[in-house]
């Protein structure tokens, strides 16, 4: 995480976002339990990737006064 320029709290926040999205998708999706868990896991991974990319972009291009 440090090689990407992310802080420890960024990793913790990423895990929280991924966990919440995974649980919400698994709970609200339709289908068998296994399908719901797989759908939730995929959505959680995608949300974690989007979180990392957006955090990196914000850290790189944010104004100096932030």
Give residue 2's pLDDT band: very low, low, confident or very high (50, 70, 90): low
pLDDT tens, 17-33?
999 999 999 999 999 99
Name the percent of the chain lying above pLDDT 70: 95
Mean pLDDT of the chain: 89
Q: How many CB atoms lie within 10 A of CB 15?
A: 13
Q: Is the torsion defined by CA of 35, 37, 41, 43 positive or negative?
A: positive
Matching residue, tokens 């759908």: 39
Give residue 62's pLDDT band: very low, low, confident or very high (50, 70, 90): confident
Predicted confidence at residue 65, as pLDDT, reads 79
Are 11 and 1 contacting, i.e. CB atoms less than 8 angstroms apart?
yes
Does the predicted TM-score (pTM) go above 0.85?
no
């Amino acid at each position: 995480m440090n090689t990407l320029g992310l802080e420890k709290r960024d990793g913790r926040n990423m895990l929280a976002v991924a966990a919440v999205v995974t649980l919400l998708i698994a709970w609200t999706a339709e289908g068998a339990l296994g399908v719901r868990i797989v759908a939730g896991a995929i959505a959680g991974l995608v949300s974690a990737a989007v979180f990392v990319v957006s955090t990196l972009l914000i850290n790189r291009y944010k104004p100096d006064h932030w």
